[in-house]
């Protein structure tokens, strides 16, 4: 069984928590895109963990975790993330962590360039996490990157890095006018973390082809959501990788593989980080209440997130783009405090109502059209089966299910492993 878990919105839908819940049924968990620019928060009996790079299956014994070729990996960050986990008793070995030899390394100069560019843009900034993700993907497509395989041959690594640094300094020193990057320092950095990393590097195509042949259960774990996708999202306020389920086989090393299930993770309300259009946005006190109730602060950066009601237009689009076969609706418990639950059921653009997600300046001009559902006004975090849920919560679930034309299979009512209902 090949299953992808993806976000249907702007990210932070609670994918990490669903992967943690479902990973018990899977032999292999794979991250196939992105870097340490977002984070999954997972709470289980061992504690609270923030994972930026490692697949969530790392918290389960007997699960093999793969970091695929579609990822960009800051190896210093990976080293520190792994250390935080091993300090809490999680075992990370070459048996349970496999890193693609084709994955690209996010270098310190990518972080530097991300910062330089965001600073240059000032009030026009993209709202980048400044972790080097856009610059490193840019270099990947310019075919000027260091890959994991390069760590295995010190001589070619050194030659390559010297060439790359010379090229990067044209921009860093010549363009931005800041201090040039030192190639020797980059090489030492790569050696320092690369030596630790070497035993984990492998050919994930071989590994996963064999696993597929043996009919192993494989889970593909996405970072961010459909609206942050480089092709289908709210460009340029997106991430720089493909967050779409269809990319999962490619970014893992098995482009020929076909997915059996795509679980779209959808939050019971909306949140977004960074700049860009966010049509159903709440402000002021209403926003503060929802942000507090949902703990909507970035897992990677601690930044307060923008929040709003559930957005039917954006989510319906996300469900289609992801090819979701079923939905996990998360954080329904967060809405318990509301008397009336607002839902954005359509956009109004230039006086016309639409439920088709627009792009470009039409999206900028879109205004939310709200409907109000009855609040459930009761703590639902203890509910474990549909019959435990109040009627107003069931009505809300049904309303969303119909509006986005996809079956809601799981409803999450709290952050812990057992706080969910199968519908």
Which residues have a catalytic role annotated? 12, 40
Q: Which C-beta is closer to ligand GDP: that of 244 or that of 413?
A: 413
| Least gap, CB of 275 to ligand GDP (angstroms) | 18
User: Which helix H or strand E contains 124, and what residues bound it?
Assistant: none
What's the CA gap between 267 and 160, in Å, rounded?
44
Residue 11 near residue 38 (C-beta atoms within 8 A): yes
Tokens 């790079």 correspond to what residue? 53
Q: What distances in angstroms separate CA 111 from CA 29, 37, 129, 213, 268, one per listed residue? A: 27, 11, 10, 40, 34
Both tokens of 375, joined, read: 């609040």
- Residue 4: partners with Cβ closer than 8 Å, 6 or more residues away: 219, 220, 221, 222, 245, 248, 259, 261, 262, 263
Burial class (CB in 10 A: 0-12, 13-18, 19+), 120: exposed
Q: Which C-beta is closer to ligand GDP: that of 14 or that of 194?
A: 14
Q: Which C-beta is closer to ligand GDP: that of 18 or that of 259?
A: 18
Residue 297 near residue 303 (C-beta atoms within 8 A): yes
What's the CA gap between 149 and 307, in Å, rounded?
41
| Least gap, CB of 13 to ligand GDP (angstroms) | 5
| Least gap, CB of 118 to ligand GDP (angstroms) | 22
| Least gap, CB of 51 to ligand GDP (angstroms) | 8
Q: Which C-beta is closer to ligand GDP: that of 16 or that of 253?
A: 16
Tokens 């994955």 correspond to what residue? 103
DSSP sequence for 29-79: EEE-SB-TTS-EEEEETTEEEEESSS-GGGGSTT-EEEE-TTBEE-HHHHH
| Least gap, CB of 383 to ligand GDP (angstroms) | 11
What's the CA gap between 203 and 208, in Å, rounded?
9
> Residue 312: helix, strand or coil by DSSP?
helix
Characterize 264-274 residue by residue with b for buried, 16 or more Cβ atoms within 10 angstroms of its Cβ, and e for exposed.
bbbbbbbbbbb
| Least gap, CB of 297 to ligand GDP (angstroms) | 9
Q: Which C-beta is closer to ligand GDP: that of 208 or that of 327?
A: 327
What's the CA gap between 267 and 332, in Å, rounded?
8
| Least gap, CB of 126 to ligand GDP (angstroms) | 19
What's the CA gap between 269 and 353, in Å, rounded?
21
| Least gap, CB of 173 to ligand GDP (angstroms) | 37
Q: Which C-beta is closer to ligand GDP: that of 190 or that of 227?
A: 227
Q: Which C-beta is closer to ligand GDP: that of 16 or that of 276?
A: 16
Q: Which C-beta is closer to ligand GDP: that of 289 or that of 365?
A: 289
Q: Quick one: which of 37, 176, 55, 198 has its CA closest to 106?
A: 37
List interacting residues with ligand GDP (CB under 6 A): 7, 12-17, 38-41, 43, 295, 299, 330-331, 333-334, 412-415
Cis peptide bond prior to 39, omega within 30° of 0? no
């Amino acid at each position: 069984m090949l299953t992808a878990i993806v976000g249907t919105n702007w990210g932070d839908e609670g994918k990490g928590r669903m992967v943690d819940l479902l990973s018990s049924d899977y032999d292999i968990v794979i991250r196939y895109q992105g870097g340490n620019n977002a984070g999954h928060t997972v709470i289980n009996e061992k504690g609270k963990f923030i994972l930026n790079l490692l697949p969530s299956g790392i918290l389960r014994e007997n699960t093999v975790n793969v970091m695929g070729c579609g990822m960009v990996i800051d190896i210093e960050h990976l080293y520190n993330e792994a250390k935080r986990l091993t300090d809490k008793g999680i075992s990370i070995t070459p048996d349970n962590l496999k890193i693609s030899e084709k994955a690209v390394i996010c270098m310190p100069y990518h972080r530097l360039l991300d910062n330089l560019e965001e600073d240059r843009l000032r009030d026009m900034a993209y709202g980048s996490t400044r972790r080097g993700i856009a610059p490193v993907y840019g270099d990947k497509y310019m075919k000027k990157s260091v890959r994991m395989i390069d760590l295995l041959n010190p001589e070619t690594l050194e030659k390559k890095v010297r060439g790359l640094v010379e090229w990067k300094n044209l921009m860093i020193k010549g363009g931005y006018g800041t201090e040039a990057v030192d190639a020797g320092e980059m090489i030492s950095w790569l050696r320092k973390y690369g030596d630790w990393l070497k035993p984990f590097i492998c050919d994930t195509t071989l590994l996963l082809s064999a696993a597929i042949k043996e009919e192993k259960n494989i889970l593909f774990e996405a970072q961010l959501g459909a609206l942050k996708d480089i092709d289908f999202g709210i460009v340029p306020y997106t991430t720089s990788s493909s967050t779409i389920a269809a990319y999962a086989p490619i970014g893992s090393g098995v482009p020929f593989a076909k997915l059996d299930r795509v679980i779209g993770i959808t939050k019971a309300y909306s949140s977004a980080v960074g700049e860009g259009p966010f049509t159903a946005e709440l402000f002021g006190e209403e926003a503060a209440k929802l942000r507090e109730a949902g703990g909507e602060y970035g897992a990677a950066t601690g930044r307060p997130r923008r929040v709003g009601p559930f957005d039917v237009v954006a989510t319906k689009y996300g469900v289609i783009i992801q090819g979701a076969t079923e939905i996990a609706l998360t954080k329904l418990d967060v809405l318990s405090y509301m008397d009336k639950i607002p839902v954005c059921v359509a956009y109004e653009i230039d006086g016309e109502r639409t439920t088709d997600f627009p792009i470009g300046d039409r999206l900028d001009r879109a205004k939310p059209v709200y409907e109000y559902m009855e609040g459930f006004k009761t703590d639902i975090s203890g509910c474990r089966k549909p019959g435990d849920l109040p009627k107003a919560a069931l009505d809300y679930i049904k309303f969303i299910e119909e509006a986005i034309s996809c079956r809601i299979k799981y409803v999450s009512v709290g952050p812990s492993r057992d706080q969910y209902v199968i519908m």
